[in-house]
Structure 1
Amino acid sequence: MNQFTPSVPYRRPRMLSPLREHLRDTFWFAPVASMVLVTLLWWGCSAIDTAIVETLQDAGEYEVVADLAGVAEDAKTIVTTISSAMMTFIGVVFSISLVAVQMASGQFSPRIVRIFIRSRITKATFSVFLATFLLSLLVLTSYESETDPRLMSTVPLVQSILTLVMVGLSLLLFVAYVNQTLRLMRVGHVVDRITGEAFRVIEKTPAYAAQARDLGRPTGELLHRGRAGVLRDVNVVLLVAAARRHGVVLRLLPRIGDFVVPGTPILAVYGGTVPRRVSGAVSVGIERTFHQDLGFGLRQLSDIALRALSPAVNDPTTAVQALDRIVQFLTALATRPLGPVEYRDGRHGSGEVRLVQDGPEWTDLVDLGFAEIRGCAADSPQVSRRMLAGLDDLLARVPPERAEPLLRHRTLLVRLVERTVPEAADRAFALEPDRQGIG
């Protein structure tokens, strides 16, 4: 029985989770969907306008039709202005945004660009802007040259009102977008977003971890047939269903985040065989994602700290902020099962084991969080003091079995400072644990 206890409840994998995550990593889906939606809304509003005019004409209310046509004609000036100005506005705003993204990636890490891409506010703003522009063009096509109220087929009144509503929504989203973009240019908010996504990965990881069970000799292997790239995630639901259908157990051979090339063994089969198409449930891309990658958050936090400690930047305070979140994340995993995990074919972790997936061990995560930063900490007492305090806090929380990598990093850090700092007083100062680094 596993001696560690889970800190958060397990969320059962969903069939469409990989697809949803992949769409979140794209920037085309939301704008395209919004333009399709606004086209349908325009079609519905156009039908309403036509129905209103026909009803009034059947009732002989031609003066009312003329009044509505006058109102719509006044709105035409606004709609025309919107259609001519919106695309220019979109170009200027998002050109400035791209410059801000480049500055942020240079200051923190290139891997944080995906935060901007996955930002819901960014996608919503861009989508509504494009939808408003498209709607204004569609509304302009509904205006007629006919001025006789008895012969008019439609008056685009509802369509014009919808356009004005979309303009108001665009303004509100623009304010929210600017606020969000400015927040994401500040290191505190960036590391907070990274940590939040890393914690969501913990929620998706099964609470029942497999001991290193012996599955015997594999009866088959499935090779990667696609392009070379990083193993982003696997569709757990499809793999478990395929294993149950063929009465086998599957084991994912590479870990999430590993780079694989065509011909790499990617799935081991135990107890039978499965069709080669089952390997299609394994997704390979050009970069790592948060979906099932438990170590990706630590990778990004470590990159931010390393860049901050580089001679070109020399910003130890940013490194301390990254260390704060590294300690927070490792604290959440201090008593949680790690390593290989089992996915079963029943609800809530019941049923037969159908998929075994290797995950990072406690030592792997500790090394990822501290090893590279420790190598740059000797020249910054602020960082060495914060790292010592973080290691001490973790040592007070982990079971004895998990203390070894923490003690190793603490010992190596002390030796590094003693070897690098010549003055005894400076050494003593740099080796004093402090959660704020230096106040």
Structure 2
Amino acid sequence: MPVWLIPIVYTVVSIVCGLVLPRLENAYAVSLDLGVSAAAVLAALSAISSGMMALTGIVLSIAFVMLQFSAITYSPRFASRFARDPVLFHALGIFFATFTYALATTLWVDRAGGMGVPTLSAIGAVVLLFASLLVFGLLMRRLGDLQITNTLRFIGDQGREVIRQTIDAGVARAAAVAGATPAEPVVQLLRHQGPPRYVQAYDMPALVALARRADGVIDMEAAVGDMLLDGSVVLRVLGGTGGIQEAELRRAVRLGSDRTFEQDPKYPLRLLVDVAIKALSPAINDPTTAVQALDQIEDLLRRLARQPLDIGRVADGDGSLHLAFPSPNWSDYLSLTFDEIRVFGTTSVQVLRRLRSALLGLEDLLGGDARGEEVRRYLVHIDSAIERSAFDEQDRNAARQEDPQGLGLTR
């Protein structure tokens, strides 16, 4: 269910309950006399409904501040975390339910001058009020997620999870495939139609089933995270009989207006880099945040460093290749994570020291293999940037020192 429907469901249910429960209470004479006058109950219900309206406005203001803060301080792409947070919409739903239920219950207080007070229904309004206050307190705790440490840890956790799900599963799939993508003729071509959309995920079982049915191979042109424009090639069907229904192919490629973490290990790295380079902008000038982002980046790269990254092949049960899709290699990950931070961080000794520490750590982890050689070439690039920088010789010597804390200990 879309998150924006959550408050509507709460509101509709509360109105129904506010109109039906007092009627049932009156019909079955289920009444509890607490010695409270109808005027007092009416005043209490009116106060609850009007007060909750004001509290709802406060919560909406808090939500707006959270969105603005995350978009300006971290990344506009990260703001969607709060814009789609179910906790926020459930909180709004409970607030809406409280004041609509209280308003509906007031209609039954001393109805027609002789009904008296629907005591149990009035108690329900008080229970909803306390539930709303509890949810409001939990929502205030949610503001702690705006702290930079929590934000970076959240992105890092998402990255570790998508690496575990995507890379580990992809290694098992690719190991079972016999051979590379065949050089078969293109028998079918699928192009995107409509407004620009991001590729969010592949339905791999569905694509494999379609390719097996056509006795061919589906070669994806669009990688997860790519933007598709009108007329862009989405996929090609190689060999076989072709004739797969376009509607079936389109359903197997999920598109959306934003990138997601699902099946996209590059996206959490992209967000971490965004946070780092925004912190390095002259308007913010916070290199320590960039160093903290590099802590998470290095951890994710260490998890990728020893994994086979050529995972873009999927077979059916007998090992025959039926699906191929683009997957990033080690150079792609290095460029994504370090290029922009290197460019924007050349004026910060702290960032350069942390970059060298990350690269030396990866070099030590990889040893003398091809990926380790790429890391060494990148380290030479960093040292060349330090040499060409506007630093004096003393600052250059300081920048050449690797330090996991940036400016912590000379190693």
Give the TM interval when normalised to the shorter protein.
Answer: 0.7 to 0.9
- Taking the aligned partners of 1:351 and 1:138, their CA distance within structure 2 comes to 64
Counterpart code for 1:173: V
**Cα contact 1:308–1:318 (8 A) shared by 2:** yes
- Taking the aligned partners of 1:371 and 1:234, their CA distance within structure 2 comes to 29
**Cα contact 1:209–1:339 (8 A) shared by 2:** no
Q: Secondary structure at the match of 2:101?
A: helix
Q: Are 1:215 and 2:182 counterparts?
A: yes
Counterpart code for 1:309: L
Residue of 297, 310, 327 corresponding to 1:326: 297
Counterpart code for 2:77: R
Report the more deviating stretch, 364-373 or 353-362.
353-362
Q: Are 1:420 and 2:386 counterparts?
A: no
Structure 1 regions of 5+ residues with no counterpart? Answer: 1-19, 57-63
Q: CA deviation at 1:412?
A: 0.6
Alpha carbons of 1:144 and 1:250: their partners in 2 closer, same or farther (altered >3 Å)? farther
Residue of 258, 263, 266 corresponding to 1:287: 258
Question: In the alignment, which residue of structure 2 is the partner of 1:196?
Answer: 157
- Taking the aligned partners of 1:220 and 1:117, their CA distance within structure 2 comes to 39
- Taking the aligned partners of 2:220 and 2:355, their CA distance within structure 1 comes to 35
**Cα contact 1:384–1:430 (8 A) shared by 2:** yes
Alpha carbons of 1:66 and 1:126: their partners in 2 closer, same or farther (altered >3 Å)? closer
Question: In the alignment, which residue of structure 2 is the partner of 1:132?
Answer: 98
**Cα contact 2:74–2:278 (8 A) shared by 1:** yes
Q: Are 1:90 and 2:56 counterparts?
A: yes
Structure 2 regions of 5+ residues with no counterpart? Answer: none
Q: Secondary structure at the match of 1:254?
A: coil
- Taking the aligned partners of 2:357 and 2:66, their CA distance within structure 1 comes to 34
Question: In the alignment, which residue of structure 2 is the partner of 1:307?
Answer: 278
Question: In the alignment, which residue of structure 1 is the partner of 2:217?
Answer: 249
Counterpart code for 2:210: A
Alpha carbons of 1:51 and 1:175: their partners in 2 closer, same or farther (altered >3 Å)? closer
**Cα contact 2:66–2:82 (8 A) shared by 1:** no
Q: CA deviation at 1:314?
A: 1.2
**Cα contact 1:76–1:160 (8 A) shared by 2:** no
Residue of 396, 401, 411 corresponding to 2:380: 411
Question: In the alignment, which residue of structure 2 is the partner of 1:118?
Answer: 84
Residue of 328, 348, 358 corresponding to 1:380: 348
Alpha carbons of 1:195 and 1:34: their partners in 2 closer, same or farther (altered >3 Å)? farther
- Taking the aligned partners of 1:377 and 1:267, their CA distance within structure 2 comes to 39
Residue of 118, 122, 132 corresponding to 1:170: 132
**Cα contact 2:32–2:120 (8 A) shared by 1:** no
Report the more deviating stretch, 374-383 or 354-363.
354-363
Q: Secondary structure at the match of 1:284?
A: strand
- Taking the aligned partners of 1:33 and 1:237, their CA distance within structure 2 comes to 34
Q: CA deviation at 1:130?
A: 2.1
Counterpart code for 2:154: R
Q: How does 1:23-102 map to 2 (within 5 A)?
A: 23=2, 27-38=3-14, 46-47=20-21, 50-56=23-29, 65=31, 67=33, 74-102=40-68
Q: Secondary structure at the match of 1:397?
A: helix
| Deviation sequence 1:369-411 (CA, Å, 0-9, x none) | 1111111232111001111111111122236232133222211
Q: CA deviation at 1:201?
A: 1.8
| Deviation sequence 1:51-110 (CA, Å, 0-9, x none) | 454444xxxxxxx74837957775443222122222222113322441343233222222
Q: CA deviation at 1:243?
A: 3.5
Q: Secondary structure at the match of 1:385?
A: helix
**Cα contact 1:334–1:398 (8 A) shared by 2:** yes
Question: In the alignment, which residue of structure 2 is the partner of 1:107?
Answer: 73
- Taking the aligned partners of 1:340 and 1:194, their CA distance within structure 2 comes to 23
Alpha carbons of 1:238 and 1:93: their partners in 2 closer, same or farther (altered >3 Å)? same
Residue of 305, 330, 348 corresponding to 1:362: 330
- Taking the aligned partners of 2:160 and 2:154, their CA distance within structure 1 comes to 10
- Taking the aligned partners of 1:289 and 1:71, their CA distance within structure 2 comes to 56
Question: What is the TM-score of this pair, normalised by structure 2?
Answer: 0.86
Q: Are 1:401 and 2:370 counterparts?
A: yes
**Cα contact 2:190–2:234 (8 A) shared by 1:** yes
**Cα contact 1:230–1:284 (8 A) shared by 2:** yes
Report the more deviating stretch, 379-388 or 209-218.
209-218
| Deviation sequence 1:13-52 (CA, Å, 0-9, x none) | xxxxxxx8xx4xxx51332343345456557xx35x5445
Alpha carbons of 1:108 and 1:127: their partners in 2 closer, same or farther (altered >3 Å)? same
Q: Are 1:437 and 2:406 counterparts?
A: yes
Question: In the alignment, which residue of structure 2 is the partner of 1:159?
Answer: 121
Q: Secondary structure at the match of 1:432?
A: coil
Report the more deviating stretch, 205-214 or 219-228.
205-214
Q: Secondary structure at the match of 2:190?
A: strand
Q: Secondary structure at the match of 2:305?
A: coil
Point out which structure has higher relative CO (alpha carbons under 8 A, 6+ apart): 1
**Cα contact 1:209–1:338 (8 A) shared by 2:** no
Q: Secondary structure at the match of 2:225?
A: coil
Q: CA deviation at 1:292?
A: 2.4
| Deviation sequence 1:166-200 (CA, Å, 0-9, x none) | 2222111211211212x233211111111122222
How many residues were matched structurally?
Answer: 397
- Taking the aligned partners of 2:56 and 2:223, their CA distance within structure 1 comes to 41
Counterpart code for 1:406: V
| Deviation sequence 1:107-139 (CA, Å, 0-9, x none) | 222222112123343233222222323322333
Q: How does 1:338-357 map to 2 (within 5 A)?
A: 338-344=309-315, 353-357=321-325
Q: Secondary structure at the match of 2:134?
A: helix
Question: What is the TM-score of this pair, normalised by structure 1?
Answer: 0.81
Residue of 176, 199, 204 corresponding to 1:236: 204
